[in-house]
Structure 1
Amino acid sequence: MVMSNNYIPQTENLSYLIDTVEELSAVCSDGSRLKDEIVDGVDTLIRRINTDAGITGDRTEAVSQVDVFLQEHGDPGLSAKNELSKVEELREQNRRLKALLRRKVEYKQQVVQLNSEYEDRITEVMLHIRQFKDKEDKVKFQTMKECFAKVEQAQEREFEAYHLLVRNEEVTQKLAHELEQFYEVFDKNRANDIKAQTLASLLKETNVGGDIQK
């Protein structure tokens, strides 16, 4: 399985894909184990045939053992009523054992090839998923960035409005103070005018009295 250079850190849940890969690996391991069992079984049968029955001795038991082995692995074995000689029986069983081994080897090769193809496809799917998610995350990030920028602009406008409000409040208070002082001066001037008029009236009355005495 070849990993792409465009690797994106995993953030999604890929447990199902991982379980599938593990299951395929287990099937591949079972195929390899089955092949080894067949090879070991054939070796054991050959040694038992050569040891127990001898080269020219009675091979009935050995033939039966091979038949049992073949049947355990999907081969019907030889018929008990076949007309083959013992040597021909052994040759036929040997041919069937070779065919069985060849089928199992081919099966293992197919499983290995299938497993490799599945892993490549899964890797490709995972890459597409991660690329899609990376693109989606970038879009979300850009959207959030734009939202934060708008919020920041709104906060700046709010601060400017608050600053202007404070400034206006200061100006208003200053104007109120100036008006208060103005009215104080105005009231004083008005009081002075009244006093001046009163004094003028008194002076006028005083002058009039003087003229009468004269």
Structure 2
Amino acid sequence: MAAARRPRGLWERVCAEYEAEQPAFPDVYESKQESVSLEAGTLQPLCMEQFYAASAANTVGQQLLSTCKAATFSEPPDPKACSPREYLECYIFPTLLPGMAELLHQAKKKKCFERKRTKFIACDFLTEWLYNHNPKRKAESFTAFFSIPFVRDWLKDHPRPPIPLSLLLSEEEASKVIQSFWRGYRVRRDPEVRELRQWQKQLREDKNVIQSLKEFWIKQEAKDCLNSCHSL
């Protein structure tokens, strides 16, 4: 007699329904797939085919929210006596799934799907979102990520390395830095400017030589005076 098939959970149903709506891709896609890492605030290279389309964040977000709303309870079960599935569907998913949908929107807004590295840290955003949307904190004001008590305590003992300047600059600021460097390079390449800079360099070196000679002869004269005094 065949074993009874275990009923699929909410999360499995969401994933199955979402995958069923996506177009099929050739087998080459599997070999090109690369891993994603969010440690130290960086997003490692990944294939854009993983997201199937530019609106994948919106699609999966709406799918998660609609499934979450469908799994409603007339009366919340006892959290200490209910099954794991009931606990997830009643106490975890109603808060977690909207947070994950918002996370996808923010990741798209920060261009995480377009660049290899960004300053956006998904775990930080989700931690801040869940902390501020905790049903027990409805009457409290918004708290930034670095002001959350347990985050502040953790970072005291585990400080993070500074984020590279290349990730902190906006596109406009980065373009100004690059353009400024390029203009300076073009000016320094001008023959007249190169001649002037060479003359200034030679002048500085000559002044240093003269000053060094003066200091040498002053010390030498002082030494001669001291020797003559000892001879007397």
| Same fold? TM cut 0.5 | no
Structure ranking higher in helix proportion: 1
What is the TM-score with the length of structure 2 in the denominator? 0.26
| Higher relative contact order structure (alpha carbons within 8 Å, sequence separation ≥ 6) | 1
Which of the pair has more CA radius of gyration? Answer: 1
